Structure 1
Amino acid sequence: MTWDELDIRLEAVPGCVSVHVGRLGAPAAYRRLADTTHYAASTMKTAVLVALHRAAEAGRLDLDAPVPVVAEFASAQPGAPRFACDPRDDNDPEVWGRLGGSASLRRLAHRMIVRSSNLATCLVMSHVGLPAVTEVWALAGARHSVTTRAVGDLAARDAGLTNLVTAADLAALHAAIVQGAEQPGPLASPAACAQMRDVLLAQEIRDDLPAGLPAGTRIAHKNGWIHGIRHGAGVVLPDDAPPYAIAVCTTAATADGGPAYDDATARRLIATVSATAWAARHRL
């Protein structure tokens, strides 16, 4: 499928599909609504990962020190009561199995990415703080993405605080991590970026971007999903071409607010974009 054919295909999809594809450090080879904001879902967890490693490098946190595993947290909305994470909304029972015990921040960050653990995310965010995550977006050159609350903070959500991303910003963030592993960059030291890249490479939920790639292709990525929303973003590392960043954000809402298609359709759509980018990898 050519880029023009992909354009026609995406134009027919209800709702909004945003795409950014391009070599690291180069202008995008393909953009479609790449600066349009979408609800972030779990893609914001990559920014939380970076904030954690930055805090560790600054000596404010020890990645390997055990921290208590709790399920109640302070709301980002001033004056609101503490909120509780819900295991029914989580994708990772392992962290819940540690409730009342302890885990290292390194372990929690790993589960936050590879299994998209909401509880691990709230725990990490409670140690790094929202301003640190905001700083990460700025350092990555993000123009429109914001993280204003933790997962499950309903009081903050109801007060209008939301987490937003764009395809362009997600591509920039993941590219900065992978590039930073090879040479000093804005986010963290090469050693820290290499650790983050390796966590993203270990992603276990592989039914969107990776589904459009040949088996065994390395991709350092994070995805996110919630009713009517599915995103995937990362860096593909082919053996026969330079790495490239790819981000696809889908919001399937119709005019009445309901989803226009289901999550399985969204995953296939993202895989189609990924396969198109892969076929063009030598010409990006």
Structure 2
Amino acid sequence: MPNEMAAAQDGLSPASAGRSTLSVHVGPLAGGPVRTLRPNAPHLAASTMKVAVLAALHRSGLDLDAPVPVHNSFVSASYGPRFGVSREEDSDPEPWQALGSERTLRWLAGRMIVHSSNLATNLCLSHVGPAAVAEVWQLARARHSVTGRGIDDLRARAAGVVNLVTAADLARLLRRLPQELLDLLAANAHRVDLAAGLPPGTRIAFKNGWLPGVRHSGGIVYPPDAPPYGIVVCYSGPLATGHAVDDPAARLLARISAGYWARRHELGTPGDR
């Protein structure tokens, strides 16, 4: 990450116009949210779309331990020429070192989530297909989120094919994940934004995403002295520099996370307000 070049110029991003949109969805794992702020506002998904790809892969019935070719040539959602992922913009070098060889889908899924590999994401998506990811969003009762294309499919993006997420939809998806997938999310190596706002060592199963103009993070927090709670914060605006760590938007999300951690004992009773 950032997972797509020139994302700040996308028409859905408010960054180039100097505007900001902040969305929040916080609450218990059962029942309605306790705190929300613009929970249904659509944002460019960035790497949060990888959670939906993971869920689709998990329920696909594919043999996740079967080796598959590692390549960088994908069919565009616009049915034009094939495209590839930008190596320079990918945060994980490991899958690139496997080009021309084989790795298992389970290994690729791990790189996709733990290290946010863009190449591994497109490989996983190419095996399950966008229809399977759309079904995952449907089963989660998502209202506005969509995963219409792979990462760096610039031709499809230019044709209007989008990857969108809302804070409410991402919260719904996270609450449906089985423990096996939550354990994978808990291994996320990018311990910034939401994780940075928690006391060291606090368990959080989460996925974040960033690119110029966008910083999102959503997960489930497991306090030792209170019931677990879900928290999703999506930010689109000029604070998001696209840097992995040194990002003002990441610090904003960390402050929001710390604020809800301080009120974690109040998050066990649902009630949208």
| Deviation at residue 140 of structure 1 after TM alignment | 1.0
Under a length normalisation based on structure 2, what TM-score does the superposition of the two structures give?
A: 0.88
How far, CA to CA, are the matches of 2:172 and 2:191 in structure 1? 21
| Deviation at residue 238 of structure 1 after TM alignment | 1.1
Look up the match of 1:236: 221
RMSD of Structure 2 on Structure 1 (CA):
1.2
Q: What are structure 2's unaligned runs of at least 5 residues?
A: 1-17, 268-273
| Deviation at residue 222 of structure 1 after TM alignment | 0.3
| Deviation at residue 116 of structure 1 after TM alignment | 0.5
Label 1:260 to 1:14 Cα distance change in 2 as closer, same or farther (>3 A).
farther
Under a length normalisation based on structure 1, what TM-score does the superposition of the two structures give?
A: 0.85
Cα-to-partner distance string for 1:227-254 (whole Å, 9 max, x where unaligned): 01000001111111111110000001xx
How far, CA to CA, are the matches of 2:186 and 2:240 in structure 1? 29
Look up the match of 2:262: 279
| Deviation at residue 67 of structure 1 after TM alignment | 0.2
Q: Is 1:210 equivalent to 2:189 in the alignment? A: no
- Contact 1:14–1:260 (8 Å) recurs in 2: no
Q: Is 1:195 equivalent to 2:180 in the alignment? A: yes
How far, CA to CA, are the matches of 1:143 and 1:25 in structure 2? 18
Say which structure, 1 or 2, has more relative contact order (CA 8 Å, 6+ apart).
Answer: 2
Q: Is 1:54 equivalent to 2:59 in the alignment? A: yes
- Contact 2:233–2:253 (8 Å) recurs in 1: yes
- Count residues in correspondence: 246
Identical aligned pairs, as a percentage?
55
| Deviation at residue 262 of structure 1 after TM alignment | 3.4
Look up the match of 1:72: 73
**Greater helix content:** 1
User: 3-state DSSP class of the match of 2:216?
Assistant: strand
Q: What are structure 1's unaligned runs of at least 5 residues?
A: 1-12, 178-192, 253-258
1:36 to 33, 41, 45: 41
| Deviation at residue 64 of structure 1 after TM alignment | 0.3
- Contact 1:115–1:203 (8 Å) recurs in 2: yes
Cα-to-partner distance string for 1:47-70 (whole Å, 9 max, x where unaligned): 0000001012xxxx1000000000
Runs of 4+ in 1 over 3 A off after TM superposition: 260-263
Q: Is 1:142 equivalent to 2:121 in the alignment? A: no
How far, CA to CA, are the matches of 2:144 and 2:223 in structure 1? 29
Cα-to-partner distance string for 1:198-247 (whole Å, 9 max, x where unaligned): 11010000111000000000000000011010000011111111111100
Cα-to-partner distance string for 1:43-99 (whole Å, 9 max, x where unaligned): 00000000001012xxxx100000000000001112x00001111110100010000
- Contact 1:111–1:117 (8 Å) recurs in 2: yes
